Amino acid sequence: MLKQRSIQSFVRRQGRLTRGQKYALEHLSKQYVIPDTPKLIDFTQLFKNNAACKIEIGIGNGDSLLALASANPDCNFIGIDVHLPGIGRCLAHIDAQQLHNVRLLCGDAVEILQHRIASESVHSFYLFFPDPWHKKRHHKRRIVQTDFVQLIAQKLHSQGIFHIATDWENYAEHIFTVLQSNPSLKNTAVTGKYTPRPIERPLTKFEQRGLRLGHSIFDLVYQK
């Protein structure tokens, strides 16, 4: 059994909601946000189909989730985040684009995975540019730790994919070490540690900013 997680990998910086974000949260949550209950989520009941379900952890402003859902209408997507402005922005775009294959969850991803997601039920997990907590004394806050990867592996469907991207080399090395230590996951890179950016991974504004700053981008794609 996983130990109770006490160190959070995020800081609740809700910020000020724009008028559009506030409207979306008030008027669209019932349609697109999964209710906060202690029950396991039944993907078939939620989406009214049997399509593969893929989850993005930490959606930011929602760009990657929206792009993935739009490009893959035959799959279902769930986005998890703790920050209301990003949830509100994403809601507005889901509605504007009429993306019926997307739902959102607001809360701590680890707690949600532990209590709301059934084992071997998710076909892909995405974790794009998580907070690197680059100061050494903060490394313990990084979300990618042994227990977290064990949890991901438990929830992944057979042959499921865990895809992480970061623009911090030190974090990439840490992620690689943690992933390699899990016997349930196998690196899909043909050579070396990292995979060239898969064409299906959207190029986000955050990533473009990192590239402008001269950061390298590291993709790690592991399969169960």
Asked if pLDDT for residue 195 goes beyond 50, the answer is yes
What top-level class would CATH report for the domain 42-223?
Answer: alpha beta
This prediction's pTM: 0.91
| pLDDT (tens digit per residue) in 155-192 | 999 999 999 999 999 999 999 999 999 999 999 999 99
Average pLDDT (127-136) is: 81
Within a 10 A sphere around the Cβ of 91, how many other Cβ atoms?
Answer: 25
* Residue-range domain boundaries for the chain: 42-223
Q: What is the pLDDT of residue 3?
A: 41
Of the listed 42, 131, 147, 219, which one is catalytic? 131
Active site residue 42: no
Rounded CA gap, 30 and 165, in Å?
A: 31
Q: What is the pLDDT of residue 2?
A: 40
Asked if pLDDT for residue 139 goes beyond 90, the answer is no
Average pLDDT (204-209) is: 79
Q: Which residue, among 56, 105, 52, has the nearest Cα to 83 in the 3D structure?
A: 105
Please calculate the CA angle 92-129-66 and round it to the nearest 5 degrees: 25
Question: Which two structure tokens, joined as six digits, stand for 16?
Answer: 């000020």
Question: Which two structure tokens, joined as six digits, stand for 199?
Answer: 């064409």
Question: Which two structure tokens, joined as six digits, stand for 166?
Answer: 């970061």
Q: What is the pLDDT of residue 204?
A: 78
Asked if pLDDT for residue 15 goes beyond 70, the answer is no
